[in-house]
Structure 1
């Protein structure tokens, strides 16, 4: 990313000059936390939102995917920088600074609801994928997805952050292949793709989907989680071997790689739908999209799509549960057993599956809920990373803060317009 986002001339806290990453291979060894957090940008909610946008509006909302990914780079970088420099997660810092007990509980409640909406999307996505691949009933698919996520979290707790990162990155490769192959087989129209980069809306439905895409792209729990992942990977700023400058620079590479993968895959999902599903009946659901892809591109591409959806659900629900546990610990200063917490957050998703609600509609609406939780995570993140007293010389450059404020204003405005359209019936 452009160096203007951070003042490259500032000296680090611990030495007289800003250290540089010695080499690309050395920096590569530090990559990992952003790739894990980036899985949140490829969860089943993203699939449903982007697939629905492409099927209904063709290339219209390409610009939303691109803009969301650009904003996500800045936001995830700031989150990781906070964790590296302070050695604490965003929920921990907020838990210390929100003095009023009821204010802290209220903030935790909205963050917890956002985490539950995240879990809803991820468990439902995994259940749908198992149903498509093996005919597993949705309720049992939800239970299997939840059980696998518990196993992955226990792996993280017992084997450490690095092992967890490798497993999640392996799933990320499967996700990327599953959702991207179809675009290579049936490439988009260059003129249509270029037209989709022009910001515009068509109707209230396109605004709803834009908010859903942004809620799925800039996810509040990913903001909370990334600071904790960076803290766990590079603990204790006072005693760790590598200087803060090396870690911050490596984090920029980490975030750039993660967001490049996430942005490309999200765009491929929308383009896959725009090319193959536009105007096709029944493609407003994941099941219908799977059937249409199979009919248009063949069973191999459809199977790869379903496998990508399954990997997406398994990986992202693990990261979501990790974020939820960190939110509770940081804001309420309590820890509950991992199994108990996982079972509690599984209940809403399993209830929806059991009652037979439309899984795809539930996924899209869950992403809209996430979009309304963005300001509560984003505004404190920007404010905290701009404080000299907290980050010292690693505080935000004024251009970084300005870019963060612009992103916040855009997201809050879009949500306001969405509310107005919904309640006025415009």
Structure 2
């Protein structure tokens, strides 16, 4: 009987995919904005923040996947089930605000890329991003695996683009290796440095990815304890692999900015400025590669943002929408409103992008704290409850997020 059970196990590659779907959110235009400004303003000094944020992201995404596998509920459903209606409504509002901040970054990234590549005005470029909903619906006709494969292709495009960018930039590899893993005090020197560091954290550990991962991973479990453990094992492999790739891309953006802009005494605070500055410094090929990667990043991350919006609405409101197309279009129109207003009033895109990531960081505790509480509850999680060491790491990571938020508020209040 035991041999028969092993014989009919699915191959390992069946379990891979959800984390790669989620990983594009860790390479979205918000990451570009924060990493470009961090690299051009402070050189390699904030690279360790990218590493720290990525490590926290891996941990939190593993917990999100574990919640979905163990309980059969995504994070939104678990919040609705475990908390009183007023608390659940409050958490729904914070999740929706995070979705709006996320979409603001993604819309602006796509709009900027379309503007740079094809000269399309920003207002029309933002409107065009609504068509990624149609892309999802068309692909889902062939099975959700196709959505995952297309997203994986986008991830590969972004990764290859930044391999080329690093090749063009010739960074100081010793400084890169040191600053990637050794903390320094730059982040605490001013409100600006802490603001950018919070932006990196908010751009890396993103609330909507926790909701999406906890929902998407459920497609890989078959409901029995042995299957759940197997799914969880491969979900860890999936998450570590996918988010390691995202860490390399985010680090590469900062490294490129440090090597090209900071070393030449240029402070880059606009994505289109980065594109235009790359032309004389590294050539047309580098600038074109940058814009193509930005477009791939914006389209793929806005696609997964739409999927996450569906998870949040259905989970918190306890509804199963029959007309999925209408729901996704509704969510997209709601969350794209701030981006349209910002473009109409000619607000600087990078200011919006960095601010959106800080808003995400401020919202993180409302997603992360319930996630850690849920996954540490043995009555809810059974044998997949967090062991003591993992529980300690999860609370330490949560503490880092909360402390950085409090420091940012204190610095801003004191005008440091």
TM over 0.5: yes
Q: Give the corresponding residue for 2:46.
A: 61
Contact 2:221–2:227 (8 Å) recurs in 1 = no
Cα distance in 1 between the residues matched to 2:340 and 2:221: 36
Q: Give the corresponding residue for 2:411.
A: 421
Per-residue deviation at 1:424? 1.1
SS of equivalent residue, structure 1 residue 133? helix
Q: Give the corresponding residue for 2:203.
A: 216
SS of equivalent residue, structure 1 residue 243? helix
Q: Give the corresponding residue for 1:258.
A: 242
Gaps of 5+ in 1: 1-14
Deviation larger for 280-289 or 332-341: 332-341
Cα distance in 2 between the residues matched to 1:224 and 1:156: 21
Q: Give the corresponding residue for 1:355.
A: 345
Q: Give the corresponding residue for 1:3.
A: none
Contact 1:21–1:250 (8 Å) recurs in 2 = no
1:184–1:29 CA distance, 2 compared to 1 (3 A): farther
Q: Which has the higher helix share?
A: 2
The size of the alignment, in residue pairs, is 405
Contact 1:65–1:263 (8 Å) recurs in 2 = yes
The answer on 1:158 being equivalent to 2:141 is yes
TM-score (norm 1): 0.90
The answer on 1:185 being equivalent to 2:165 is no
Gaps of 5+ in 2: none
1:89 aligned to which of 55, 69, 74: 74
Deviations 1:101-131 (A, max 9, x none): 2222111001100011000000000000011
Contact 2:75–2:371 (8 Å) recurs in 1 = yes
Deviations 1:283-322 (A, max 9, x none): 2110111111121111111111110000110000111111
Per-residue deviation at 1:344? 1.6
Per-residue deviation at 1:75? 0.7
The answer on 1:230 being equivalent to 2:217 is yes
Cα distance in 1 between the residues matched to 2:8 and 2:245: 25
TM-score (norm 2): 0.92
Contact 2:14–2:220 (8 Å) recurs in 1 = no
Deviation larger for 222-231 or 361-370: 222-231
Contact 1:225–1:322 (8 Å) recurs in 2 = yes
Per-residue deviation at 1:161? 2.2
Q: Give the corresponding residue for 1:113.
A: 97
1:116–1:30 CA distance, 2 compared to 1 (3 A): same
Per-residue deviation at 1:20? 9.3
Contact 1:79–1:223 (8 Å) recurs in 2 = yes
Once superposed, what is the RMSD of the aligned Cα atoms?
A: 2.3
Matches within 5 A, 1:161-176: 161-176=144-159
SS of equivalent residue, structure 1 residue 198? coil
Per-residue deviation at 1:85? 1.9
Q: Give the corresponding residue for 2:190.
A: 203
Deviation larger for 291-300 or 48-57: 291-300
SS of equivalent residue, structure 2 residue 120? coil
Deviations 1:359-416 (A, max 9, x none): 0110000000000111111111111111111111111111111000000101110111
